[in-house]
Each structure stands twice: as structure tokens, then as C-alpha cells.
């Protein structure tokens, strides 16, 4: 009985962590800041992103993350890539997904 209860609690704990990971972008910046922003929808893509060496091409390859950074006013995390208007231009030019 106690073993079953422990197993159930561990499964619930792991499921909670999985949902947390699926709902957040964790971003490592060049300034040694680790930022956390919510995702638009659950998914494991871009859950942890190290942007320290990113270029404009890298930013264009991650349109959902770039869209969230713009929406949450966290574009200063990508100041080494460009300013907020430049990032919006990159997103507009290279986005292959629609806003959902």
C-alpha cells in the first residue's frame, strides 16, 4: 500500500514537472541571465534556449520564441542580435508559421 502511494506521488510530481517544462521558455542570455517566459501553447520545442551566440539567422529559425520575446517585451535578451524593431523585421521576413 505504501509503495503504491509513493509511486503515485512520484508520477504526479514528474507529470507536474513535465507540464512546467512544456509551458515555459528558459532563455540563457549573454549577460549570464537566465530568463523564463511562458509559451503560447504547450510543447517541448525551445524549452531551454542558449542565445549567447545567436545571430539573426538563429533568431529567424525560432519564430515562436522570437514572437514571445517581442510580446513580453524581453527583446533586450537578444540585444546582441538586434533591436526590437530589427527583431520584428526578422520575424516578419522569415516566419513560416502563422499566429495561432
- The secondary structure of 15-32, three-state, reads HHHHHHHHCEEEEECCCC
pLDDT of res. 96: 52
Residue among 64, 1, 74, 91 nearest 36 (CA): 74
Contacts of 83 (CB under 8 A, 6+ apart): 75
Domain residue spans in the chain? 2-94
Rounded to an integer, the average pLDDT of 68-82 is 89
Query: In this predicted model, what pLDDT tens digit does every residue of 14-39 receive, in sequence order?
Result: 999 999 999 999 999 998 889 999 99
Query: In this predicted model, what pLDDT tens digit does every residue of 37-52 receive, in sequence order?
Result: 999 999 998 899 999 9
Rounded to two decimals, the pTM is 0.75
Name all contacts of 23-29 with Cβ < 8 Å and 24+ positions apart. Answer: 25/49, 25/65, 25/68, 27/51, 27/65, 27/69, 27/74, 27/77, 28/52, 29/77, 29/78
Amino acid at each position: 500500500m505504501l509503495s503504491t502511494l509513493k509511486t503515485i506521488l512520484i508520477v504526479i510530481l514528474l507529470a507536474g514537472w513535465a507540464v512546467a517544462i512544456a509551458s515555459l521558455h528558459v532563455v540563457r542570455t549573454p549577460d549570464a541571465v537566465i530568463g523564463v517566459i511562458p509559451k503560447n501553447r504547450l510543447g517541448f520545442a525551445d524549452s531551454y534556449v542558449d542565445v549567447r551566440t545567436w545571430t539573426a539567422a538563429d533568431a529567424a529559425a525560432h519564430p515562436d520564441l522570437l514572437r514571445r520575446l517581442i510580446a513580453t517585451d524581453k527583446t533586450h535578451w537578444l540585444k546582441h542580435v538586434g533591436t526590437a524593431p530589427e527583431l520584428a523585421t526578422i520575424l516578419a521576413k522569415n516566419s513560416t508559421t502563422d499566429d495561432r
